[in-house]
Amino acid sequence: MTSAGAPAVPSYASGISEVPLLGDTIGDNLDRTATAQPDVEALVEVPTARRWTYAQLREDVDVVAMGLMRAGLGKGDRVGIWAPNMAEWTLVQYATAKIGAILVNINPAYRTHELEYVLNQAGIRMLVSAEKFKTSDYVGMIEKVRGSCPALEQVVIIGGPEWEALVESGRGGDREELARLQAALSPDDPINIQYTSGTTGFPKGATLSHHNILNNGYFVGRLCGYTAEDRVCIPVPFYHCFGMVMGNLGCTTNGSTMVIPAQGFDPEATLRAVAQERCTSLYGVPTMFIAELNHPDFASYDLSSLRTGIMAGSPCPVEVMKQVVDRMGMTEVTICYGMTETSPVSTQTRADDSVERRVSTVGRVHPHVEVKVVDPETGLTVPRGQAGELCTRGYSVMLGYWEQPDKTAESIDAARWMHTGDLAVMDSDGYLNITGRIKDMVIRGGENVYPREIEEFLYTHPDVLDAQVIGVPDIKYGEELCAWVKLRDGVEGLTAEQVREFATGKLAHYKIPRYVIVVDEFPMTVTGKVRKVEMREKSVELLDLADAAAVKNA
């Protein structure tokens, strides 16, 4: 600031809105929508051709809720869900919300090590699980860990006799008792725990309330212009906020239709679902859109119904955004930025933003939310145009990490600002660019991976003396994992294939390093800290990744 001039404009913005926040619980809000438009289609599961109107969805949700009640579950009890995208996932999501049970999302890619941790850390009383998915034998894995999970009383396998019994029991349930339970819930009650990979080797459970996720889904949908005419194709996983909040809650709060194209992402199944169901909106992380655009039969699918959609979860390449607009007809596509801990969305581009803004920024602050960019050292807000750490505050900030107040205090400050760990720049009009991360988190195809967790695991390999894991650029996934390892004396070498063999079955596939570089020393600072920035630069050179590094992102 010069002595005569005005102070620089600070990198702060608040989302002014004439549309009030919803004061409902998730159950009450679903009932409201179902009463207003009982005959509108609510849910379509394309692989099984099952369909629900809003009246039918409400009925089936109530039946599952009463089944859970009769199984002895109620407000505050934790119910785990371990399954790919399927209608039953959605039924359990809303049924638990109706009775105030806390839904714990378990990543379908988890293996025994991670499953056992989450079951115990959340104190899950009932686990609702698919029988299997892809190469995962869920039933077998549950049997392996069940004896070491004392809180786990009941396991219900979807499609199995336990599920049938739960539903049958619910059909004979007491509707007045359900209504009483539902009426006794507060929008501020915790209703969902989502695990994010932990920087200290284990995931942390971001605990979210009705108020957090109901409103975030509602405003994401409003900014996409959703009405009862909209049909949203949701190939992104339900266990993420992207699927269950921006997808499911985005639809039910705005009266739109949820379309499940497949259990897991499949580009052809997604294109087929959009064409067959005349979807108006399509979600995905950049890798999904790339796979769809590059599908050999892309041109044979009629995508003319598409109007909007969301690309999020990973840095969005500018060229991909342009192709989504030009070749898929998603002229109103938006980019969202957020994190699980903020329910998730904090900023979003708008349909009326210029094409340049919509393909090269993560948009402006969301309604009823505040954002600021601060100097990571001083905590002071930096002037617009200057890089710093992005912080966000408002209704969307989580209640905290489940039973980890110390970890919560590291992320949420005394004024309730959530520190994202992301570096950002805010321009003069309030649009944000994400320029990097303070933390070392790697985002691989929309999955958050913390190097520390992988490093801790690699230390258990008999040949590894020390390990450092970084993210390196990748054209398909945005980033891939690269492990630099120091080997024990006498060990000749270690290949990526050998590491993959060692990790398979113990770590989720997306956490297994694609590249392994054997070194004698790590680059260090004078104070003895590993220089990961330098490691990244050298890895790009050694692995010949210059083309991937050159991809421009929003």
Please report whether residue 163 resides in a domain. Answer: yes
How many structural domains comprise the chain?
A: 2
**Residue pair 30/52 in contact by the 8 Å Cβ criterion:** no
Least confident span in 495-499, 521-525, 536-540: 521-525
Cα dihedral value 110, 113, 114, 115, nearest 10: 80
Please report whether residue 73 resides in a domain. Answer: yes
Q: What CATH number corresponds to the domain at position 162?
A: 3.40.50.980
Please report whether residue 147 resides in a domain. Answer: yes
Which sign, positive or negative, has the C-alpha torsion 219, 59, 65, 156? Answer: negative
44 closest CA partner among 274, 265, 307, 261: 261
Tokens of 243: 């699927």
Please report whether residue 348 resides in a domain. Answer: no
Each residue of 214-263: pLDDT tens digit? Answer: 999 999 999 999 999 999 999 999 999 999 999 999 999 999 999 999 99
Boundary-marking domain end, from 186, 216, 234: 186
**How much is the pLDDT for 420?**
94
Cα dihedral value 393, 394, 398, 401, nearest 10: 40
Please report whether residue 453 resides in a domain. Answer: yes
Each residue of 48-71: pLDDT tens digit? Answer: 999 999 999 999 999 999 999 999
- pLDDT, greater one: 355 or 481: 481
pTM to 2 decimal places: 0.86
Query: What is the average per-residue pLDDT within 349-378?
Result: 92
**How much is the pLDDT for 2?**
46
Q: What CATH number corresponds to the domain at position 530?
A: 3.30.300.30
Please report whether residue 179 resides in a domain. Answer: yes
Query: What is the average per-residue pLDDT within 175-195?
Result: 98
Query: What is the average per-residue pLDDT within 479-486?
Result: 95
Boundary-marking domain end, from 186, 218, 242: 186
**How much is the pLDDT for 201?**
60
Please report whether residue 39 resides in a domain. Answer: no
Query: Residue 437 class from Cβ within 10 Å (0-12 exposed, 13-18 middle, 19+ buried)?
Result: middle
Query: What is the average per-residue pLDDT within 466-493?
Result: 92
Domain hosting 71: range is: 54-186
Each residue of 366-398: pLDDT tens digit? Answer: 999 999 999 988 999 999 999 899 999 999 999
Tokens of 211: 């108020």
Residue type, 11: S
Percent of the chain with pLDDT over 90: 81
Least confident span in 176-180, 226-230, 360-364: 360-364
Cα dihedral value 515, 521, 527, 530, nearest 10: 0
Q: What are phi and psi of 517, to 5 degrees?
A: -120, 120
Least confident span in 57-61, 161-165, 277-281, 536-540: 536-540
Q: Cβ of 487: how many Cβ atoms within 10 Å?
A: 18
Please report whether residue 97 resides in a domain. Answer: yes
Boundary-marking domain end, from 168, 186, 204: 186
